[in-house]
Protein backbone atom coordinates (compact mmCIF):
# COMPACT_ATOMS: atom_id res chain seq x y z
CA UNK A 1 0.00 0.00 0.00
CA UNK A 2 0.78 3.68 -0.14
CA UNK A 3 2.55 5.37 2.78
CA UNK A 4 0.51 6.56 5.70
CA UNK A 5 0.31 10.31 5.82
CA UNK A 6 -0.01 12.75 8.65
CA UNK A 7 -2.99 14.98 7.95
CA UNK A 8 -4.19 18.12 9.73
CA UNK A 9 -7.90 18.73 9.22
CA UNK A 10 -9.18 22.26 9.91
CA UNK A 11 -12.82 22.33 10.93
CA UNK A 12 -14.69 19.69 12.93
CA UNK A 13 -17.96 20.40 11.18
CA UNK A 14 -19.85 18.00 9.03
CA UNK A 15 -17.24 17.72 6.27
CA UNK A 16 -14.17 17.93 8.51
CA UNK A 17 -15.38 15.12 10.76
CA UNK A 18 -16.30 12.83 7.89
CA UNK A 19 -13.02 13.58 6.09
CA UNK A 20 -10.94 13.14 9.24
CA UNK A 21 -12.63 9.90 10.26
CA UNK A 22 -12.44 8.39 6.77
CA UNK A 23 -8.77 9.34 6.29
CA UNK A 24 -8.00 7.71 9.67
CA UNK A 25 -9.98 4.65 8.56
CA UNK A 26 -7.73 4.51 5.48
CA UNK A 27 -4.74 4.30 7.84
CA UNK A 28 -3.56 7.89 8.01
CA UNK A 29 -2.72 9.81 11.17
CA UNK A 30 -5.23 12.64 11.53
CA UNK A 31 -5.50 15.62 13.85
CA UNK A 32 -8.77 17.55 13.57
CA UNK A 33 -8.70 21.11 14.79
CA UNK A 34 -11.65 23.31 15.63
CA UNK A 35 -11.88 26.70 17.34
CA UNK A 36 -15.06 25.75 19.25
CA UNK A 37 -13.98 24.51 22.72
CA UNK A 38 -17.33 22.81 23.39
CA UNK A 39 -17.17 20.84 20.18
CA UNK A 40 -13.60 19.72 20.79
CA UNK A 41 -14.40 18.74 24.39
CA UNK A 42 -17.36 16.70 23.17
CA UNK A 43 -15.28 14.91 20.53
CA UNK A 44 -12.51 14.19 23.02
CA UNK A 45 -15.07 12.65 25.33
CA UNK A 46 -16.06 10.31 22.49
CA UNK A 47 -19.29 12.06 21.54
CA UNK A 48 -20.11 13.03 17.97
CA UNK A 49 -21.93 16.36 17.67
CA UNK A 50 -23.69 15.48 14.40
CA UNK A 51 -25.87 12.56 13.40
CA UNK A 52 -24.38 10.58 10.53
CA UNK A 53 -24.74 6.79 10.16
CA UNK A 54 -21.47 4.94 10.78
CA UNK A 55 -19.50 8.02 11.76
CA UNK A 56 -19.54 7.50 15.53
CA UNK A 57 -18.32 3.91 15.21
CA UNK A 58 -15.64 4.94 12.74
CA UNK A 59 -14.32 7.65 15.05
CA UNK A 60 -14.33 5.23 18.00
CA UNK A 61 -12.44 2.45 16.23
CA UNK A 62 -9.78 4.83 14.90
CA UNK A 63 -9.07 6.69 18.13
CA UNK A 64 -5.38 5.68 17.98
CA UNK A 65 -4.98 7.57 14.74
CA UNK A 66 -7.57 10.31 15.12
CA UNK A 67 -7.31 13.14 17.65
CA UNK A 68 -9.14 16.40 18.22
CA UNK A 69 -7.64 19.63 19.42
CA UNK A 70 -8.03 23.38 19.80
CA UNK A 71 -4.29 23.82 19.66
CA UNK A 72 -2.69 24.99 16.42
CA UNK A 73 0.86 23.87 17.17
CA UNK A 74 -0.38 20.40 18.06
CA UNK A 75 -2.37 20.30 14.79
CA UNK A 76 0.55 21.23 12.59
CA UNK A 77 3.24 19.25 14.43
CA UNK A 78 4.52 16.74 11.86
CA UNK A 79 1.61 17.39 9.48
CA UNK A 80 2.29 16.79 5.79
CA UNK A 81 -1.09 17.76 4.41
CA UNK A 82 -3.45 20.49 5.66
CA UNK A 83 -7.10 19.90 4.75
CA UNK A 84 -9.32 22.97 4.92
CA UNK A 85 -12.87 21.90 5.81
CA UNK A 86 -14.34 25.07 7.33
CA UNK A 87 -17.76 26.35 6.36
CA UNK A 88 -18.27 29.08 3.79
CA UNK A 89 -21.74 30.49 4.53
CA UNK A 90 -23.40 33.20 2.42
CA UNK A 91 -22.20 36.70 3.28
CA UNK A 92 -24.19 39.95 3.22
CA UNK A 93 -23.43 40.38 -0.50
CA UNK A 94 -24.56 36.84 -1.33
CA UNK A 95 -21.00 35.73 -2.09
CA UNK A 96 -19.53 32.94 0.02
CA UNK A 97 -18.03 34.23 3.27
CA UNK A 98 -14.44 33.01 3.16
CA UNK A 99 -13.29 34.54 6.45
CA UNK A 100 -12.91 31.17 8.18
CA UNK A 101 -10.91 29.84 5.24
CA UNK A 102 -8.59 32.85 5.31
CA UNK A 103 -8.09 32.44 9.05
CA UNK A 104 -6.91 28.87 8.44
CA UNK A 105 -4.60 29.89 5.58
CA UNK A 106 -3.11 32.59 7.80
CA UNK A 107 -2.54 30.07 10.58
CA UNK A 108 -0.43 27.95 8.20
CA UNK A 109 2.14 30.71 7.89
CA UNK A 110 5.19 29.10 9.64
CA UNK A 111 4.33 25.56 8.51
CA UNK A 112 7.18 25.18 6.03
CA UNK A 113 7.24 21.40 6.58
CA UNK A 114 3.84 20.97 4.86
CA UNK A 115 3.77 19.19 1.52
CA UNK A 116 0.33 20.36 0.49
CA UNK A 117 -2.67 22.50 1.39
CA UNK A 118 -6.00 21.09 0.22
CA UNK A 119 -9.29 22.99 0.19
CA UNK A 120 -12.39 20.84 0.57
CA UNK A 121 -14.71 23.69 1.53
CA UNK A 122 -17.07 24.81 -1.22
CA UNK A 123 -15.61 28.04 -2.60
CA UNK A 124 -16.11 30.43 -5.51
CA UNK A 125 -14.07 29.64 -8.62
CA UNK A 126 -10.76 31.48 -8.33
CA UNK A 127 -10.35 30.98 -4.58
CA UNK A 128 -7.57 28.43 -5.07
CA UNK A 129 -5.54 30.92 -7.08
CA UNK A 130 -5.88 33.43 -4.24
CA UNK A 131 -4.86 30.84 -1.63
CA UNK A 132 -1.90 29.92 -3.82
CA UNK A 133 -0.81 33.56 -3.94
CA UNK A 134 -1.21 33.88 -0.15
CA UNK A 135 0.93 30.77 0.41
CA UNK A 136 3.58 32.13 -1.96
CA UNK A 137 3.60 35.45 -0.12
CA UNK A 138 4.00 33.62 3.20
CA UNK A 139 7.15 31.88 2.02
CA UNK A 140 5.33 28.61 1.31
CA UNK A 141 5.86 28.56 -2.47
CA UNK A 142 7.26 25.02 -2.18
CA UNK A 143 4.01 23.75 -0.58
CA UNK A 144 1.61 22.27 -3.14
CA UNK A 145 -2.03 23.27 -3.49
CA UNK A 146 -5.09 21.22 -4.43
CA UNK A 147 -8.84 21.68 -4.60
CA UNK A 148 -10.64 18.50 -3.56
CA UNK A 149 -14.38 19.22 -3.43
CA UNK A 150 -16.77 16.88 -1.62
CA UNK A 151 -19.98 15.46 -3.03
CA UNK A 152 -21.30 13.75 0.07
CA UNK A 153 -25.00 13.72 0.83
CA UNK A 154 -26.13 13.82 4.45
CA UNK A 155 -27.12 10.46 5.84
CA UNK A 156 -24.69 8.63 3.56
CA UNK A 157 -21.55 10.70 3.97
CA UNK A 158 -19.31 7.85 5.11
CA UNK A 159 -20.31 5.63 2.18
CA UNK A 160 -20.02 8.58 -0.22
CA UNK A 161 -16.45 9.17 0.98
CA UNK A 162 -15.31 5.56 0.75
CA UNK A 163 -17.26 4.63 -2.41
CA UNK A 164 -17.67 7.87 -4.35
CA UNK A 165 -18.78 8.26 -7.97
CA UNK A 166 -15.55 10.21 -8.44
CA UNK A 167 -12.75 11.91 -6.53
CA UNK A 168 -12.04 15.30 -8.07
CA UNK A 169 -8.55 16.69 -7.56
CA UNK A 170 -7.66 20.09 -8.98
CA UNK A 171 -4.00 20.97 -8.92
CA UNK A 172 -1.46 22.85 -10.96
CA UNK A 173 1.36 20.42 -10.21
CA UNK A 174 1.66 16.69 -10.77
CA UNK A 175 3.40 15.93 -7.49
CA UNK A 176 0.54 17.37 -5.42
CA UNK A 177 -2.09 15.63 -7.55
CA UNK A 178 -0.21 12.35 -7.04
CA UNK A 179 0.11 12.95 -3.29
CA UNK A 180 -3.63 13.53 -2.88
CA UNK A 181 -4.45 10.64 -5.22
CA UNK A 182 -2.31 8.31 -3.09
CA UNK A 183 -3.92 9.68 0.07
CA UNK A 184 -7.17 8.17 -1.26
CA UNK A 185 -5.65 4.73 -1.76
CA UNK A 186 -8.32 2.32 -0.57
CA UNK A 187 -11.19 4.52 -1.70
CA UNK A 188 -13.32 2.75 -4.28
CA UNK A 189 -13.88 5.32 -7.02
CA UNK A 190 -12.22 6.91 -10.05
CA UNK A 191 -9.85 9.84 -9.55
CA UNK A 192 -10.30 12.76 -11.94
CA UNK A 193 -7.42 15.24 -12.02
CA UNK A 194 -7.83 18.70 -13.52
CA UNK A 195 -6.88 22.33 -13.01
CA UNK A 196 -7.90 24.09 -9.80
CA UNK A 197 -10.58 26.37 -11.25
CA UNK A 198 -12.32 23.52 -13.04
CA UNK A 199 -12.35 21.43 -9.86
CA UNK A 200 -13.93 24.34 -7.99
CA UNK A 201 -16.54 24.63 -10.75
CA UNK A 202 -17.37 20.88 -10.76
CA UNK A 203 -18.76 21.13 -7.25
CA UNK A 204 -20.99 24.13 -7.99
CA UNK A 205 -22.10 22.75 -11.37
CA UNK A 206 -22.97 19.33 -9.93
CA UNK A 207 -25.18 20.74 -7.21
CA UNK A 208 -26.81 23.16 -9.64
CA UNK A 209 -27.66 20.37 -12.07
CA UNK A 210 -29.09 18.17 -9.31
CA UNK A 211 -31.24 21.09 -8.12
CA UNK A 212 -32.26 21.69 -11.74
CA UNK A 213 -33.50 18.12 -12.13
CA UNK A 214 -35.69 18.48 -9.03
CA UNK A 215 -37.09 21.87 -10.01
CA UNK A 216 -37.71 20.55 -13.50
CA UNK A 217 -39.78 17.60 -12.31
CA UNK A 218 -41.58 19.87 -9.83
CA UNK A 219 -42.57 22.17 -12.66
CA UNK A 220 -43.70 19.20 -14.77
CA UNK A 221 -45.70 18.07 -11.70
CA UNK A 222 -47.55 21.38 -11.67
CA UNK A 223 -48.35 20.95 -15.33
CA UNK A 224 -49.48 17.36 -14.68
CA UNK A 225 -51.97 18.75 -12.15
CA UNK A 226 -53.35 21.08 -14.78
CA UNK A 227 -53.53 18.47 -17.54
CA UNK A 228 -54.52 15.32 -15.65
CA UNK A 229 -51.25 13.44 -16.16
CA UNK A 230 -49.53 11.61 -13.28
CA UNK A 231 -46.01 12.90 -12.60
CA UNK A 232 -44.97 9.65 -10.87
CA UNK A 233 -45.63 7.72 -14.09
CA UNK A 234 -43.96 10.44 -16.14
CA UNK A 235 -40.83 10.53 -13.93
CA UNK A 236 -40.57 6.74 -13.91
CA UNK A 237 -40.55 6.49 -17.68
CA UNK A 238 -38.42 9.60 -18.26
CA UNK A 239 -35.86 8.18 -15.82
CA UNK A 240 -35.57 4.95 -17.79
CA UNK A 241 -33.82 6.88 -20.55
CA UNK A 242 -30.20 6.12 -19.67
CA UNK A 243 -29.19 9.58 -20.88
CA UNK A 244 -31.42 11.13 -18.20
CA UNK A 245 -31.30 8.61 -15.34
CA UNK A 246 -33.85 8.00 -12.58
CA UNK A 247 -32.17 10.05 -9.84
CA UNK A 248 -33.30 13.41 -8.51
CA UNK A 249 -36.59 13.18 -10.37
CA UNK A 250 -38.70 12.80 -7.24
CA UNK A 251 -41.29 15.56 -7.15
CA UNK A 252 -41.89 17.14 -3.78
CA UNK A 253 -42.28 20.25 -1.73
CA UNK A 254 -38.95 21.71 -2.86
CA UNK A 255 -35.28 21.15 -2.15
CA UNK A 256 -33.49 22.43 0.95
CA UNK A 257 -30.48 21.49 3.04
CA UNK A 258 -27.03 22.81 3.68
CA UNK A 259 -25.83 22.68 0.07
CA UNK A 260 -28.37 23.19 -2.70
CA UNK A 261 -29.82 26.55 -1.60
CA UNK A 262 -26.43 27.97 -0.59
CA UNK A 263 -24.47 26.66 -3.56
CA UNK A 264 -27.04 27.56 -6.21
CA UNK A 265 -27.24 31.10 -4.82
CA UNK A 266 -23.43 31.28 -4.67
CA UNK A 267 -23.12 30.12 -8.29
CA UNK A 268 -25.70 32.66 -9.43
CA UNK A 269 -23.80 35.33 -7.52
CA UNK A 270 -20.48 34.21 -9.00
CA UNK A 271 -21.95 34.59 -12.48
CA UNK A 272 -23.39 38.02 -11.68
CA UNK A 273 -19.96 39.15 -10.50
CA UNK A 274 -18.62 38.36 -13.97
CA UNK A 275 -21.48 40.31 -15.55
CA UNK A 276 -23.44 37.26 -16.68
CA UNK A 277 -26.93 36.42 -15.48
CA UNK A 278 -27.39 32.64 -15.13
CA UNK A 279 -30.91 32.42 -16.51
CA UNK A 280 -31.60 28.73 -16.14
CA UNK A 281 -30.33 28.53 -12.55
CA UNK A 282 -32.32 31.63 -11.60
CA UNK A 283 -35.49 29.92 -12.82
CA UNK A 284 -34.55 26.75 -10.93
CA UNK A 285 -34.35 28.78 -7.70
CA UNK A 286 -37.65 30.58 -8.46
CA UNK A 287 -39.47 27.29 -9.09
CA UNK A 288 -38.19 26.00 -5.76
CA UNK A 289 -39.43 29.05 -3.86
CA UNK A 290 -42.81 28.80 -5.55
CA UNK A 291 -43.13 25.11 -4.75
CA UNK A 292 -43.29 25.80 -1.00
CA UNK A 293 -45.79 28.63 -1.37
CA UNK A 294 -48.01 26.52 -3.59
CA UNK A 295 -48.49 24.03 -0.75
CA UNK A 296 -49.90 26.74 1.51
CA UNK A 297 -52.02 28.10 -1.34
CA UNK A 298 -53.58 24.66 -1.87
CA UNK A 299 -54.67 24.48 1.77
CA UNK A 300 -55.96 28.02 1.51
CA UNK A 301 -58.07 27.11 -1.55
CA UNK A 302 -59.42 24.03 0.20
CA UNK A 303 -60.25 25.64 3.54
CA UNK A 304 -61.36 29.04 2.25
CA UNK A 305 -59.19 30.77 4.82
CA UNK A 306 -56.27 29.76 6.99
CA UNK A 307 -57.11 32.17 9.79
CA UNK A 308 -57.82 30.22 12.96
CA UNK A 309 -57.14 26.88 11.25
CA UNK A 310 -55.00 24.28 12.97
CA UNK A 311 -52.45 22.93 10.53
CA UNK A 312 -50.13 20.00 11.30
CA UNK A 313 -46.67 19.92 9.69
CA UNK A 314 -45.45 16.32 9.58
CA UNK A 315 -41.67 16.20 9.29
CA UNK A 316 -39.56 19.33 9.70
CA UNK A 317 -36.03 18.39 8.61
CA UNK A 318 -35.06 19.05 4.98
CA UNK A 319 -34.99 15.32 4.32
CA UNK A 320 -35.49 12.18 6.44
CA UNK A 321 -32.63 10.52 8.32
CA UNK A 322 -31.07 13.77 9.51
CA UNK A 323 -31.63 16.32 12.28
CA UNK A 324 -30.57 19.10 9.92
CA UNK A 325 -33.01 22.00 9.65
CA UNK A 326 -30.89 24.17 7.38
CA UNK A 327 -33.03 25.70 4.61
CA UNK A 328 -35.76 23.17 5.36
CA UNK A 329 -38.97 23.88 3.38
CA UNK A 330 -40.89 23.41 6.66
CA UNK A 331 -39.55 26.74 7.92
CA UNK A 332 -41.10 28.64 5.01
CA UNK A 333 -44.36 26.68 5.37
CA UNK A 334 -44.59 27.42 9.10
CA UNK A 335 -43.84 31.12 8.63
CA UNK A 336 -46.38 31.43 5.79
CA UNK A 337 -49.09 29.57 7.74
CA UNK A 338 -48.54 31.76 10.81
CA UNK A 339 -48.68 34.86 8.63
CA UNK A 340 -52.08 33.67 7.35
CA UNK A 341 -53.28 33.38 10.94
CA UNK A 342 -53.13 29.59 11.22
CA UNK A 343 -52.17 27.69 14.36
CA UNK A 344 -49.19 25.45 13.56
CA UNK A 345 -48.58 22.13 15.27
CA UNK A 346 -45.61 19.97 14.35
CA UNK A 347 -44.11 16.51 14.58
CA UNK A 348 -40.58 15.39 13.73
CA UNK A 349 -38.56 12.48 15.18
CA UNK A 350 -35.15 14.16 15.01
CA UNK A 351 -35.27 17.91 14.45
CA UNK A 352 -33.71 19.68 17.40
CA UNK A 353 -36.18 21.89 19.23
CA UNK A 354 -35.58 25.38 17.90
CA UNK A 355 -36.47 28.31 20.10
CA UNK A 356 -36.42 30.77 17.21
CA UNK A 357 -39.16 32.10 14.95
CA UNK A 358 -41.22 30.69 13.38
CA UNK A 359 -40.81 27.62 15.57
CA UNK A 360 -41.28 29.38 18.90
CA UNK A 361 -44.83 30.20 17.75
CA UNK A 362 -45.64 26.55 16.95
CA UNK A 363 -46.49 23.56 19.12
CA UNK A 364 -44.39 20.41 18.91
CA UNK A 365 -46.04 17.02 19.44
CA UNK A 366 -44.29 13.73 20.25
CA UNK A 367 -46.23 11.64 17.69
CA UNK A 368 -47.85 12.33 14.31
CA UNK A 369 -51.19 11.19 15.77
CA UNK A 370 -51.07 13.86 18.48
CA UNK A 371 -50.17 16.53 15.95
CA UNK A 372 -53.11 15.42 13.78
CA UNK A 373 -55.73 15.28 16.57
CA UNK A 374 -58.07 18.24 16.17
CA UNK A 375 -56.26 19.60 13.10
CA UNK A 376 -58.09 21.18 10.16
CA UNK A 377 -55.40 20.14 7.74
CA UNK A 378 -52.00 18.46 7.59
CA UNK A 379 -48.99 18.69 5.30
CA UNK A 380 -46.52 15.85 4.81
CA UNK A 381 -43.31 17.87 4.54
CA UNK A 382 -40.58 15.25 5.06
CA UNK A 383 -40.94 11.62 4.00
CA UNK A 384 -40.04 10.06 7.35
CA UNK A 385 -40.78 6.29 7.22
CA UNK A 386 -42.68 6.64 10.53
CA UNK A 387 -45.47 8.37 8.61
CA UNK A 388 -46.18 5.08 6.84
CA UNK A 389 -46.95 3.52 10.24
CA UNK A 390 -49.56 6.10 11.26
CA UNK A 391 -53.12 4.82 11.74
CA UNK A 392 -54.49 7.12 9.05
CA UNK A 393 -58.04 5.78 9.40
CA UNK A 394 -57.97 6.67 13.08
CA UNK A 395 -56.37 10.04 12.35
CA UNK A 396 -59.14 10.93 9.87
CA UNK A 397 -61.72 10.49 12.62
CA UNK A 398 -59.90 12.67 15.16
CA UNK A 399 -58.97 15.50 12.78
CA UNK A 400 -61.41 18.41 12.78
CA UNK A 401 -61.30 18.20 8.97
CA UNK A 402 -59.39 15.42 7.20
CA UNK A 403 -57.58 17.60 4.69
CA UNK A 404 -54.15 16.26 3.74
CA UNK A 405 -51.55 17.75 1.44
CA UNK A 406 -48.97 15.05 0.80
CA UNK A 407 -45.93 17.07 -0.25
CA UNK A 408 -43.84 13.95 -0.86
CA UNK A 409 -46.33 11.65 -2.62
CA UNK A 410 -45.99 9.12 0.20
CA UNK A 411 -49.49 7.72 -0.05
CA UNK A 412 -51.83 6.19 -2.59
CA UNK A 413 -54.45 8.81 -3.51
CA UNK A 414 -57.32 6.31 -3.90
CA UNK A 415 -56.56 4.64 -0.55
CA UNK A 416 -56.44 7.96 1.29
CA UNK A 417 -59.67 9.16 -0.31
CA UNK A 418 -61.30 5.85 0.69
CA UNK A 419 -60.36 6.70 4.31
CA UNK A 420 -62.26 9.95 3.97
CA UNK A 421 -59.42 12.36 3.29
CA UNK A 422 -59.57 15.35 1.06
CA UNK A 423 -56.22 14.26 -0.31
CA UNK A 424 -53.90 16.40 -2.41
CA UNK A 425 -50.40 15.51 -3.57
CA UNK A 426 -47.76 16.72 -6.01
CA UNK A 427 -48.57 16.26 -9.69
CA UNK A 428 -50.98 13.35 -9.38
CA UNK A 429 -54.63 13.36 -10.44
Longest dimension (CA), the chain: 73
Cβ closer to ligand UDX: 257 or 358? 257
Binding of residue 151 to ligand UDX (CB under 6 A): yes
Out of 16, 124, 128, 257, point to the residue binding ligand UDX (CB under 6 A): 257
Q: Which of 22, 85, 224, 259 is catalytic?
A: 259
Q: What is the DSSP string of 237-306?
A: HHHTSTTT-STT----S---SSSHHHHHHHHHHHHHHTT---HHHHHHHHHHHHHHHHHHHHHHHHHS--
Minimum distance, C-beta of residue 391 to ligand UDX, in the bound complex (Å): 25
Minimum distance, C-beta of residue 374 to ligand UDX, in the bound complex (Å): 28
Out of 249, 337, 381, 387, point to the residue binding ligand UDX (CB under 6 A): 249
- Is 218 buried (19+), middle (13-18) or exposed (0-12) by CB count in 10 A? buried
> Is 88 part of any known ligand binding site?
yes
Local structure of 31: helix, strand or coil: strand
Binding of residue 234 to ligand UDX (CB under 6 A): no
Out of 153, 205, 398, 410, point to the residue binding ligand UDX (CB under 6 A): 153
Binding mask 154-193 for ligand UDX (x = CB under 6 A): x---------------------------------------
Output the CA torsion sign for 264, 266, 270, 272: positive
Q: What is the DSSP string of 358-406?
A: TGGGSEE-SSHHHHHTT-SEEEE-S--GGGGGS-HHHHHHHSSS-EEEE
Binding of residue 152 to ligand UDX (CB under 6 A): yes
Distance of CA 379 to the CA centre of its chain: 22
Part of the chain binding ligand UDX (CB under 6 A), chosen from 20-28, 144-152, 305-313, 386-394: 144-152
Out of 260, 384, 411, 423, point to the residue binding ligand UDX (CB under 6 A): 260
Out of 255, 347, 392, 411, point to the residue binding ligand UDX (CB under 6 A): 255
Cβ closer to ligand UDX: 402 or 407? 407
CA angle 237-240-242, nearest 5°? 145
Question: CA 293 → CA 137, 286, 334, distances in Å?
Answer: 50, 11, 11
Residue 366 near residue 390, CB atoms below 8 Å: no
Binding of residue 250 to ligand UDX (CB under 6 A): yes
Out of 10, 14, 68, 318, point to the residue binding ligand UDX (CB under 6 A): 318
Does 358 sit behind a cis peptide bond, omega within 30 degrees of 0 on the bond before it? Answer: yes
Provide the pairing of β-strand 167-171 with 144-147: antiparallel
Out of 207, 212, 215, 330, point to the residue binding ligand UDX (CB under 6 A): 207
> Is 68 part of any known ligand binding site?
no
Out of 259, 284, 299, 333, point to the residue binding ligand UDX (CB under 6 A): 259
Binding of residue 51 to ligand UDX (CB under 6 A): no
Lay out the sheet containing 116-119: strands in order across. Answer: 66-69, 29-33, 6-10, 81-84, 116-119, 144-147, 167-171, 191-194
With CA atoms as reference, report the closest residue to 300 among 383, 195, 386, 379.
379
Minimum distance, C-beta of residue 407 to ligand UDX, in the bound complex (Å): 9
> Is 249 part of any known ligand binding site?
yes
Q: 259 an active-site residue?
A: yes
Binding of residue 256 to ligand UDX (CB under 6 A): yes
Total residues in contact with ligand UDX, by rule CB under 6 A: 20
Binding of residue 348 to ligand UDX (CB under 6 A): no
Binding of residue 82 to ligand UDX (CB under 6 A): no
Binding mask 351-380 for ligand UDX (x = CB under 6 A): ------------------------------
Minimum distance, C-beta of residue 52 to ligand UDX, in the bound complex (Å): 10
Local structure of 233: helix, strand or coil: helix
CB atoms within 10 A of CB 139: 11
Distance of CA 329 to the CA centre of its chain: 13
Residue 232 near residue 409, CB atoms below 8 Å: yes
Residues that bind ligand UDX (CB under 6 A): 150-154, 207, 210, 214, 248-250, 252, 255-260, 318-319
**Annotated binding site: which residue ranges?**
34, 39, 88, 122, 151-154, 203, 248-252, 256, 262, 319, 326
**So which residues are the catalytic ones?**
259
Residue positions forming the annotated binding site for substrate: 151-154, 203, 248-252, 256, 319
Amino acid sequence: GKPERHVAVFGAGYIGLVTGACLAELGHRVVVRDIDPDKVALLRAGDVPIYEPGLGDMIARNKERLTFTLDLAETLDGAEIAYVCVDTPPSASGDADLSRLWAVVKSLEGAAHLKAVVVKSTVPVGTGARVRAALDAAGLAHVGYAANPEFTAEGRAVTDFLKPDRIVIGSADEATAALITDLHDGVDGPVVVMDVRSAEMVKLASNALLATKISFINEIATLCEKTGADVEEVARAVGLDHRLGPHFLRPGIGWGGSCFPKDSEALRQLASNTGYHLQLLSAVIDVNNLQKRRAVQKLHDELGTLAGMRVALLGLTFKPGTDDMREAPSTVLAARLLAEGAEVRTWDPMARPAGVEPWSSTTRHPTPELALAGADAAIVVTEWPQLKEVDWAGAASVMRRPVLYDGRNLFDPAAMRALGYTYMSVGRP
